[in-house]
Amino acid sequence: MELDVKKLRLAMAAKCLTVKGLARAAGVSEGAVNLWLNHGTRPRLDTIGKLARALDADIYDLVREV
């Protein structure tokens, strides 16, 4: 599974979360969120789980099938 940046951005917008807000809610650094959103780096699966919990979403809502 791989993070789908477009889906992540949509989920963030739906929850009105900024990069800073998502980072704080998920317990990750702002720099890491920026890397995932803007530079194509990939978070680990457990980190995607943290993002999903912070966004009150299912993990499958944030990933694309490879």
37 vs 30, 50, CA distance in Å?
11, 15
Position 66 pLDDT exceeds 80? no
Give pLDDT, residue 40: 87
0.85 surpassed by pTM: yes
Nearest to 57 by CA among 25, 30, 33, 24: 25
The count of domains in the chain is: 1
The predicted-structure confidence for 3-51, as pLDDT tens digits, reads as follows 999 999 999 999 999 999 999 999 999 999 999 999 989 999 999 999 9
- Residue whose tokens read 């650094």: 29
Cβ atoms of residues 22 and 56 within 8 Å? no
Q: CB-based burial of residue 43 (10 Å sphere; 0-12 exposed, 13-18 middle, 19+ buried)? A: buried
Task: Please check the confidence at residue 65 and state whether its pLDDT lies above 90.
Answer: no
Residue 36 maps to which CATH number? 1.10.260.40
Looking at residue 19, its pLDDT comes to 98
Give me the pLDDT at residue 4, please. Answer: 96
Range of the domain at 19: 2-64
